[in-house]
Amino acid sequence: MQRTTLKKLKKRQDFLRVAKIGKKVVKPAFILVAARNFLSEENQTSRIGYTATKKIGNAVIRNRSKRRLRAIVRERLVSQAHPNIDYNLIARFSTQDYDYDKLIADFDDAIVEIHKQLDK
């Protein structure tokens, strides 16, 4: 598979589009949502966004949760990302305390499952 570059989702409309048309995989510590991004075919760019709402806790908890999700993406998604797909990782209440090895295993399962759903 060709290596894709991984950029950040920044605009609210991109997050809303992924939430509306994307496929979703729910795990105990996070929710992974992904959708095709319709960028130019030459670009071959995948984008990643992180969401942690006030529902999961205060700023310290939200930032810790996003840091853990970013670490997993650096470790796993960079090599597994498909071209022209936007990913959004949504933190859940248990993200900050979840065992890191289980978090990685859940992420690997989720990425395989989301790619199967998108390829249909």
Domains of the chain plus CATH, in order, are: 5-119 (3.30.230.10)
Burial class (CB in 10 A: 0-12, 13-18, 19+), 115: middle
pTM of the model: 0.90
Q: Is the pLDDT of residue 2 over 90?
A: no
Burial class (CB in 10 A: 0-12, 13-18, 19+), 67: middle
**What is residue 82's DSSP assignment?**
P
Segment 30-87, tens digit of pLDDT = 999 999 987 666 667 889 999 999 999 999 999 999 999 999 999 988 888 888 899 9
pLDDT band at 29 (very low <50, low <70, confident <90, very high): very high
Q: Is the pLDDT of residue 4 over 70?
A: no
